[in-house]
Amino acid sequence: RRELRPFGVHVAIVEPGYFRTGMTDIARNLEALERTWERAPAGVRESYGQRYFESVRRLFEESLRTRCNTDLSLVTGCMEHALTAVHPRTRYAAGWDARLHYIPLSYLPTALADQL
């Protein structure tokens, strides 16, 4: 962003929260989780146990099912504003989860944000 300023290029960052896209496809994500579990060393699977994995799987599925916003216009609206505004913002947050969690987190020092 800063490197392009001398050339008159304004860079806007669009930070979306959770949205229903191919990236948050429930079946695809659950399959990837299952593959990761199956590839884990036997000792790791034994340490955590099948019950733990099943609880994580249920929590993950419920989170994808309930937290993902279906209104992608919140993201495209930010993009449109960044491209067409006379004075575009530097940073856009699309969705309430991005505004309440990810944006404040981005202002913290990296070492602290990594711990949260």
- pLDDT (tens digit per residue) in 57-108: 999 999 999 999 999 999 999 999 999 999 999 989 898 888 877 777 778 8
Distance of alpha carbon 88 from alpha carbon 105, whole angstroms: 22
49 pLDDT higher than 90: yes
